[in-house]
Copies of this chain bind each other. A is one copy, B any other.
Amino acid sequence: MSHTYEYPRPALTVDCVVFGMDEGDLKVLLIQRGVEPFVGKWALPGGFVRMEESLEDAARRELAEEAGIRPSHLEQLYTFGEPSRDPRGRVVTVAYFALVKLSDHNVVHAATDAREAAWFSVWDTPKLAFDHSDVLATALQRLKGKVRYQPIGFELLPPKFTLTQLQRLYEVILERELDKRNFRKKILSMDLLEELDEVEQDVSHRAARLYRFDHKKYKQLEKAGFNFEL
């Protein structure tokens, strides 16, 4: 055991920005804090990293514990380590970025340890604890950038979706309107969507055809040098 171990160390946490799409509204999962500091304030789900788990495992564990959520996409976002970011002392946090299908039974059970969990529109969140507003802003930026050149948007939709749903998703994330015909042309020409023999139900107008994203085909095309774009 080396001498380096005798120096004081920053504490290490993970925090997760979990996005979900609810009927054309982009939501983020927040937890109401039950302990000091910032008791009662809303914050990103997260917690301390244990000695024997990887960072990603820690993120998954916290999400399961605090909200009963198993994200369909999870990636590391950024590490925040300003000395003053936590009033308790030096705490460095590795932020993760997650996408979930709200359709799944990801209906957010109340958390294990008496805190509350809830979905907020990303355009209208309360003031957050710590530097979590910065973390959220960074995550939004990442989502906006990445959705255009990687097909991660599908992780926010139910397995079967209409093209209009897909278009709305892009419009909300990119914060601009898209042309219906051009959008359909582009996305269908990539040949990544499986056209199903089903239509949406219970709508009071012409029912739209349902599609499924073909993960396998995408992996194949990707290996062959194909690049998803918008």
Contact = CB atoms under 8 A, between A and B. Distances in A.
Interface of A: 1-2, 4-5, 7-12, 35-36, 48-55, 76, 78-79, 81-83, 88-90, 92, 94
A10 B79 CA distance: 15
A88 B55 CA distance: 18
A94 B81 contact: yes
A2 B13 CA distance: 14
Contacts of A8: 51
Contacts of A1: 88-89
A7 B50 CA distance: 8
A53 B36 CA distance: 24
Contacts of A89: 1, 5
A79 B82 contact: no
B10 A51 contact: yes
A48 B90 CA distance: 14
A2 to B, nearest CB: 6
The SS class assigned to the A binding surface is loop
A67 to B, nearest CB: 20
A89 B78 CA distance: 23
10 contacts: A1-B89, A2-B36, A4-B11, A5-B11, A9-B9, A9-B11, A9-B51, A52-B90, A79-B94, A81-B94
B76 A78 contact: yes
Contact of A12 (B10, B36, B53, B88): B10
A52 B88 contact: no
A54 B83 contact: yes
A10 B52 CA distance: 9
B7 A88 contact: no
A51 B90 contact: yes
A49 B53 CA distance: 21
A52 B82 CA distance: 9
A76 B11 CA distance: 19
Given A4-B48, A53-B83, 13 more contacts: A2-B36, A2-B88, A4-B11, A5-B11, A9-B11, A9-B51, A10-B49, A12-B12, A52-B83, A52-B90, A55-B79, A55-B81, A81-B94
